Structure 1
């Protein structure tokens, strides 16, 4: 099969324009609520490379011959618009140098003063406000909210013990969170005490949110995109798979999104646009057994399932599943298993972080992908694949 560029109907370049560099990884700076290990952050740097069509700063281990070969099997040419880094100093120097000639779209806001606020595509202060969980009612017009209380850090321990279980605790300041990190679900008194201990460790926190736990029938991530030229575009919605204690485990497609969910998301997106937002945004909206809607998290940024939705019509099959996998240490076996499955035709590679890029098994390799095909077949294939892989299954 000859390789070619994917003809994606909407890319990040269409939204952000020229002279913009995209960074998908968290800052190297300390964040008490988002402390992924460095390899995870490096993997994330390339998660949106396929849908970008614009300069992206990626770790060198994500653009090796291995990912190129996986893409070639799918008939896709490796994107060329990227700049690579290996170390913290290289990453930071590249960002700062680019900011002198263009703008940056940060997936996660970096420390104040890292670059000027106006060097962000969406000004840093606006970006932080849009993603601040404590003022979510501003963007929902006070609708779709669970019962919640915002408490000062110093008052948290007393107030949290006065709430009735179950409930959820979240950071209520400008620190970004993702993938369930920083979200603490409390079902038991033991969970409450563990949460208190976790909060005590996060001394660089001004306030926290205690929120009613909603038992969802469906957990949607409904996504929109905005540019001045295109206006607001509905990208679709996916089902979020979340563990009992809130850890995000990927997304699957859903063809029957309630109109009420789409309309709620559109209203939120419009409020964000009115405040100055440009780009892709995804809103976590729960539907309970009474068909009530609850907006529990607003992410004015790309999301794990953004590529899933943007590539939906380009990948065969009605059912799509976004997942990530980590090697158990045998990187060669990990890659060969992936290679074999990609050849079978139902696995699309988004990113491969090569633990062998300098020396064999230097660190565990990681892989982000989309399964596509018939639902029953994909569920069985992915289960069999995980057994052969003998590694860990994760979502980013």
Structure 2
């Protein structure tokens, strides 16, 4: 794999030198973050290549298997990592790392004050909450680039929907974390609405406000990203096309060759307003373009995004096409790892993270792998990935575990 040596921008350029990064959501229950514990642990190592800051990582995400995969692409696992194994060790680590007031934590998702005092956040906690609150998006986006939307108390949903026709979108209207589209409920019909109501009812004690939003049929679905660097300037990091299923669930990102300057300008304006509000760091904004070439901003993520690594590593990967994606072991974890290893050795997969299910003893845990496909063209990678998936589907069931 032909790699260049130096990133143009890293997370270290966007945050103070005293920053420690944690991308793991809090262990507290979050009604709109529908992922189990191992998946949330898996998130902790996704940015290791691009951080150059100390990172808090689960031990299962930093085993010898990750080191081997990194060696295959002439990389080493960073030494400035802090590891945890469970809720107690994670929360104790946060306290330990910030006890003298020298370090701050840049969270990907907010944590309760009982876990860490707000004074230890890198970005002011309330500013961070406000910027990522879906009900406040209108404060940062020009109204002409917003879908039609209403913010309502959840108990008025039934009455309000009498004036809405399918399809439409329902979202939580508070600062509770969402990810991967799990907080986005696209309703095409009565069945979808029934499922949405079930989720809303289960979360009603946590989230009082809901957003009903016009459904935009996308021709393009972009995440455009920016960073403030240590000189205070806003830097455009690039844009990636989002891979989303029909119900809004996030499946990854792929590189694009060009994007209209108008779309970049929309994102720059949002970033500028965020910076004026008190934000600094990396942010990504989801923008849909419809068949009439109208651009609609549907989500603001004033934090690192799933495609941030893809964008920052793009020049290093030195290929015409890249695609960020995650895979899960369908059975035997060792066969899963060996399959990945072969495709990394062949130069098709650039490894970001590997969650080693075999780190756990006495139980079966799926291994997970985050990576970037990289190659001469989209058609070429589509062909190679199809081969990979065929082999993935042939992996045996989980063998006996230790």
TM-score normalised to the size of structure 1?
0.95
Q: CA–CA distance in 1 between the matches of 2:196 and 2:160?
A: 13
1:103-252 to 2 correspondence within 5 Å? 103-203=104-204, 204-252=206-254
1:1-396 to 2 correspondence within 5 Å? 6-100=5-99, 101-203=102-204, 204-359=206-361, 362-374=364-376, 375-390=378-393
Q: CA–CA distance in 2 between the matches of 1:184 and 1:280?
A: 26
The alpha-carbon deviation at position 116 of structure 1 amounts to 2.1
1:229-275 deviation per Cα after TM superposition (whole angstroms, max 9, x unaligned): 14100000000010001110100001111111000000000000011
Q: CA–CA distance in 2 between the matches of 1:143 and 1:25?
A: 35
SS across alignment from 1:379: helix
Q: CA–CA distance in 1 between the matches of 2:156 and 2:192?
A: 18
- Of residues 121-130 and 135-144 in structure 1, the stretch that sits farther from structure 2 once superposed is 135-144
Change (3 A) 1:236 1:15: same
SS across alignment from 2:310: helix
SS across alignment from 2:145: coil
Q: CA–CA distance in 1 between the matches of 2:348 and 2:314?
A: 13
1:313-368 deviation per Cα after TM superposition (whole angstroms, max 9, x unaligned): 00031100000000012101100000011110121000000011243873110000
In the alignment of these two chains, the number of paired residues is: 391
Q: 5+ unaligned residues in a row in structure 2: which ranges?
A: 396-402
Q: CA–CA distance in 2 between the matches of 1:366 and 1:164?
A: 40
Q: In the alignment, which residue of structure 1 is the partner of 2:399? A: none
Q: CA–CA distance in 2 between the matches of 1:328 and 1:190?
A: 30
Q: 5+ unaligned residues in a row in structure 1: which ranges?
A: none
Q: CA–CA distance in 2 between the matches of 1:364 and 1:30?
A: 22
Q: CA–CA distance in 2 between the matches of 1:24 and 1:38?
A: 13
Q: CA–CA distance in 2 between the matches of 1:39 and 1:132?
A: 26
- Of residues 138-147 and 296-305 in structure 1, the stretch that sits farther from structure 2 once superposed is 138-147
TM-score normalised to the size of structure 2?
0.94
User: 1:34–1:182: 8 Å Cα contact kept in structure 2?
Assistant: yes
The alpha-carbon deviation at position 157 of structure 1 amounts to 2.6
Q: CA–CA distance in 2 between the matches of 1:159 and 1:208?
A: 11
User: 1:59–1:84: 8 Å Cα contact kept in structure 2?
Assistant: yes
- Of residues 152-161 and 97-106 in structure 1, the stretch that sits farther from structure 2 once superposed is 152-161
